[in-house]
Every structure is written in structure tokens, then in C-alpha cells.
Structure 1
């Protein structure tokens, strides 16, 4: 059995426009890294966090990584185990790219590997959801499931949890732009209506079904037609400066579809190739620069692997 390990876990795009809390996919970059080693003293300790500008708690009970590792060790009845964790944040916090999810998943994947893969990767999803609950008050799986499983993931049901991996059409790229403005997940969730019109719900169901069908059928046109959100995006997009102009730049320059990543402020476009993805992010960043907003861009194929040992 290994005594130490270093793991990378990917960022994710949750909701995927019409699939609020039920659809997500993983990307190759950005992501987070966790170093973990066994110690002689029982319990979970966070030794160091880098790249967070002091924003994340070192308290093992309050940090999503250590808290979910504690849940895992309790589940396998190994509270006698001592673990030391170093978390290296390689992605922006509060970006809408599953920052807390990537950290949590890296930690869970690491401890499961060190313990000899006692659980399947899919069985780690509920423990990762505990971390999300700590981070934003609600244990949703549309970030953690794709971060763990890779690719596109559908959360068919939460009670009981039913997570389904979906196929990714060959050649699909994600073009992500993160405008450096603050949109806290809790605030973004509070803006969403608790009641919706039946006619809107019907449109949304049709789009979710269409998007899933398009992934299975390798049908980019169907995927694009289905990437419409009548429930959440109209409200959340108000919080993102330049949103409509960025949508226009994406759709006029070859994007399959465009939308908000998670609760924002990051936005993403799906494209058929890398060149189109790079062109779109460049144009969107130029627009944000004009309105005095700094941004970061990430271009990558959909990540099919999930977390990996470095």
C-alpha cells in the first residue's frame, strides 16, 4: 500500500444551460491538485493550502476536502487512520467552474487510492456531495459527478441518487471565459424562482431531452437547438457583465451553443474544434477588456478521464 499520492481533479461545467442541477461535464483545464500522505497520528489534518490567497479554511471540519475525507474514513470504519493533506488551488475560486468540487474530488480520489480502491469511483459521489453541501449549502452532484467520472453526466435522481454517464461526440471542445467579477453561488441560487409556469417547464424538459439525445446521436445541430434555458439563465445572466454580447460573439463565430457555467460568472461555448474555441474566447476576452473587466480563458476538449494520479 502506498504511503503518499498526488492527484489532479478537473474543473467542470455544471447545468449545461437547460440542465439545472442535473447535467454537467468535465474539462481538462483548469483543475486542482491534492497531495496526501499517511501519518502516525489518527485524524485528518490540512497542512497547507496554496493558491487560495488565504480564503479557504485550514480547519479540517470546515474545509470541503478534509471533511469529505473524514466522511469516507468513517464510512469504511477506519477512523484510526492518520492523513495529512496539501491542497494546491490551480483554478479560480467562485468562478462557476466547480472549484470546491475539484478540490473535494481530488481528495476523495486520493484517499480511496491510498486505501486500495475500497470503493468504486461512482460510489465516491455521495461523499463529494457532502463537500458541496459544506461549500454552498446544497449537496448537488452536477459538478462532483463529472469531476469524478469524466465526460458528460446526467443526475437522473437525487433520492435515490442515480448518476448516468453520457457519451461525448468526437471533436467537441469547450471554450470557457471567466470574467473576474464576484458572483457567489449562494446569491445566484437565491435569485431563482421557486415556482415556474407549466409552459416553461415543458420547454425545459424538451431541451434537456434534446440535449441528451444529441449527445447520444452525435448530432451537433440538435445539441445546439437544445441549449436553451427559459428558467435560470434569464435571471442569472443579469449578474454577468457583457453576457449578451459574449453570447452573440459565440453564436456568430461557430459555437454549437453558449451559456453560463454553473452559477457564473464563467461562460462557456461548445464547439466542433479547437480553432473555433480559441477564436471565440479571444473575441470574448477582447470585449471584456473594452468594458474594463479582466478575464481568464480556458480551451480544452471534454475531459473523459476524471481525476488522475500525477
Structure 2
């Protein structure tokens, strides 16, 4: 089978760090074009808009959209309308409604739409899911705290409305939680907004399942030093800790599973799989929890944040 001719829109840090190596090492894809206001890839035809790229390169089969979520809908709509399969970086959009609209369009056009959640492909996720399925869960505590100055230096879009603020990393935790735990709903939230920003810098979330399982999540962008990406579950079989963003699994203090990180290679394997099968993969559960937090959460204003 011939490789899937792929184009990337939005050539930034995540593309250079993750997308390009993953594509280069996957024989199912061939990168044939890029569109970005500033970024380019050596040896690949570059354009400054998706419209110019689609007009000039008719052989594109699929498009990976890696620009900020506030600007993704319009590009995704144009790609789908042109009959291209579409890979959406996380979060898949700025609102639930726009992603639902894209999913309907993809179905009409008989092309694949992929809402990617890279943290679900962290190495220890499936082992954690299997462990929890074999016991009774008593409670869960999610601690997702990192230094925004380190991970998102001078990225103003992330503080703007629709940029999600601390939910940009927090949604990674939610993508894991919605994969390894029973269905949950939000019961309460406190969102901390810097007085000079439109998106939160911290969030404290309370969830429950229909069976009464309590889940507490803490997201914070002000942590310096060691970064925390941990999910701690108290169960009848003991304490389970899924740490380092899903890279390691420990039970009762003993490391039971770890493996090299391969999230983005796994995403591109999944994208190839659904393109070949003629299906879509659009799970909006993580984004729905974020929307619920903005709808139900109490707002607390804190000191101004400056890079």
C-alpha cells in the first residue's frame, strides 16, 4: 500500500520535537508539504496558509493540524471539505460544538477525523487500566503541577480565551482519567485566574462516578523544581501510583511497569489505522470535563502573571 501523503499545518516546537520524528519513522506516512506563518521543514515545500498549500499540492491525503486550538476549526473545515483526513492535536478544538461539527463533516465527506490524546499512549496507561479493572477503587487523587515558564515560554495564545490556560496540560490528565476510570461527572471546581489573564493558572476539581467513586484533581502552573504528573488511586489491592505522566506504574511502593516513552509514534500508528479502516476516532470526554469546569467552577482572582 502506498504511503499516506501527509501535510502539517503549524510548524512549531511540538512538531519539531514529536511529530516530525514520528512521521519519519513511520512507513505509513510521507510528509509532502507544510503550512505555517513562520516555521518550515528543510526539503519540504512550505506555504504560509492552508489554502495555498491545498491549492498547490493536490496529492495531499491527510493533514495534521498543530496550531493553537482557537484557530484550528477553520483549517480543519477546509481540509475536510477538500476530502483530506485530519489529525487534530490536543485539545481537538476551542469548543465542543466546533469539534462535533467537524465530526459530522468528516462523516459526510467519508474521511477520517482523529482527536488525538497523546497521554493515553504513555507506556504504563494500559497496565494501570488493567490493574484498576481487577480491583475495587476507593478514591483517586490527580496531581498535575508544572512550571508554565519552562513548558510554554512567551506563548501568549495559551493565556487567551480558548487557550485553556492550566487545562492545556491538565487535559492530558483528564485524557488518562477518562480512559482508565469509570465515567465521571464534575461536582465542583475552583479556578484561579491571574488578574491580567483570560485563562486560569490553577484549578481544583471534584468528580464523582455514578457508583460514588470520588476523584480529586489539582492542576497548577506555578510549580518550580520537580514537576508532578501523578495519579494516585487507593484500592482494595493497595495504593496504585501512575507517575511521570503515565510512564511508570507502582503498586504498594513497588515499581511494576515502566517502558520508554512512545506517545506520538503511537498516535501516528493509530491515525494510519483509522485512515486505512475508513473510520474516525473522536472522543470528547476530556474536553467535556474542561467545559464543565468553566461552566460550574467558581472563579478566584490571584496576582498577575508575567513571563
TM-score by length of 1: 0.29
Kindly indicate whether structure 1 or structure 2 has the higher relative contact order, using CA contacts under 8 Å at least 6 residues apart: 1
TM-score by length of 2: 0.29
